[in-house]
Structure 1
Amino acid sequence: MSRNSKKKKIILICSDGGHFAQIRELEPLFTKYDYLIVTEKSKATIPMAERYNMKFLKSRPKGSGRGLGFYFSVLQNLFLSIGILIGHYPKVVITTGSHTALPMCFLAKLVGSKVVWILSFARVKSKAFSANIAYPICNRFIVQWPEMTKHYKKAIHLGGIY
């Protein structure tokens, strides 16, 4: 049995862009756990697969808001997330959001994995749509600004990850 197989498995999932940058700030966790990063496939994230253990989900159509294309991409990511979850059955799913993480978070909760949501560093005073959806199922909900504990009562403020 390899040493890596004795480590607890985690999935770190996020949208691309700033959410992905925040997940990468958690890199010290990567050596402690058998990790898998799951994010949207984009020009910025594809090269990162050479450095990190990664799988990709479908990106939502840019500029589409929450139209039909958005919901179609969430449905596609639901099915992709099932395969990823089966292949890397984690003890914990950690996410910095946003919409891309929702299917994985709900599936993980269904199979008994813990869900940890780290609210985006950009959320200083207002709630986030995706975070609001996931909030009830999260085992831990971490905010990076103390003001956000007013919006999310069970949130834990641990400071910024930057």
Structure 2
Amino acid sequence: MGNKENLKICLVGSSGGHLTHLYMLEPFWKDKNRFWVTFDKEDAKSLLKSEKVYPCYYPTNRSLKALIKNTIIAWKVLRKEKPDLIISSGAAVAVPFFYIGKLMKAKLIYIEVFDRIDKPTLTGKLVYPIVDKFIVQWEEQKKVYPKAINLGSIF
């Protein structure tokens, strides 16, 4: 991974709450080389108007078609951008970016959503085995994800 000055970060997530979650990490990413992958929806366009954004396919809810399309997008975007680090708080669009990112030697950080306390999300279950850091926001979530790090709420 590059040093902190030239660290390249991919922030990937659905629009709405997942994107808001990632945006709240601004103190971490604001001075870094970064790009975003999210849905081409009004909330994302408004929040990320001055950011580099790659649109991904939606809706993703348990959709094989969306997974295939987003896997192709992930392959193209990650080959072009070559991030050192990929961060996501979900949802499904994170899965192909994490698996392809892992193949390309990117470090992976997943942040489990705040509102899921005692059960895993599908995305969390799918990426947990391959991430470098799995962050939870409740101590109870460590029963579901034993290797997770509880950093408390980012709200």
Q: Does TM-score exceed 0.5, indicating one fold?
A: yes
Counterpart in 1 of 2:89?
96
Distance 1:108 1:75 in 2: 16
User: Once the two structures are superposed, what CA deviation does each residue of 1:102-123 show, in whole Å capped at 9, x if it has no partner?
Assistant: 0000000011111110001111
SS at match of 2:146: coil
1:27 equivalenced with 2:26 (yes/no): yes
Q: Which residue of 1 aligns with 2:143?
A: 150
> How far apart, in 2, do the equivalents of 1:31 and 1:98 lie?
22
Question: What residue ranges of structure 2 are gaps of 5+ in the alignment?
Answer: none
- Find the counterpart in structure 2 of residue 44 from structure 1: 43
SS of 1:44's partner is helix
**Where do 5+ consecutive residues of structure 1 fail to align?**
1-5
**1:111 paired to 2:116:** no
Asked if structure 2 preserves the Cα contact closer than 8 Å seen for 1:42 and 1:59, the reply is no
Q: Which structure: larger Rg?
A: 1
Structure 2 counterpart of 1:81, from 63, 74, 90 = 74
CA root-mean-square deviation: 1.4
TM-score (norm 1): 0.88
Who is 1:136 aligned against?
129
The alignment-based identity, stated in percent, is 28
Size of the aligned set, in residue pairs, is 151
Q: Tell whether the 8 Å contact from 1:58 to 1:76 is kept in structure 2 after alignment.
A: yes
Structure 1 counterpart SS, 2:43:
coil
